[in-house]
Amino acid sequence: MRRGAITVTWAPGDPAEPPRVAYAIGKHVGGATVRNRVRRRLRAIVRDLEHPLGPGAWLIGAAPEVANLSYGELKAAVADAVAALEARK
């Protein structure tokens, strides 16, 4: 599910296990410092989501424009993408 600069993909998993989350942030986003900052922001956003992620494997991808988003804009994009994906399950 894509929302702005964020893409969220989900694969089902064992309900007894916690969700697994991976981040796809390519070099097109920026240098290592920028990619690491984006990754840290995404981890904080996922940890603080209003509705925690369900079981399974989650992949959160970032487009190049994600480096220019404020924390609030990034949080809204992730929350919207996760909510839209959860609604489609």
CA–CA distance, 61 with 2 (Å, rounded to integer): 9
By the 10 Å C-beta count (0-12 exposed, 13-18 middle, 19+ buried), 60 is classed as: buried
Terminal CA-CA length for the chain: 11
Task: Domain of residue 78: give its range.
Answer: 2-88
Q: Going residue by residue through the chain, which has 89 residues, state the pLDDT in tens, using 9 for 90 and above.
A: 999 999 999 999 999 999 999 999 999 999 999 999 999 999 999 999 988 899 999 999 999 999 999 999 999 999 999 999 988 87
CA distances from 8 to 1, 17, 32, 33, 72 (A): 5, 20, 22, 23, 17
User: For the whole model, what pTM was predicted?
Assistant: 0.91
- For tokens 């969700």, the residue is 19
Number of domains, the chain: 1
For residue 77, the domain's CATH number is 3.30.230.10
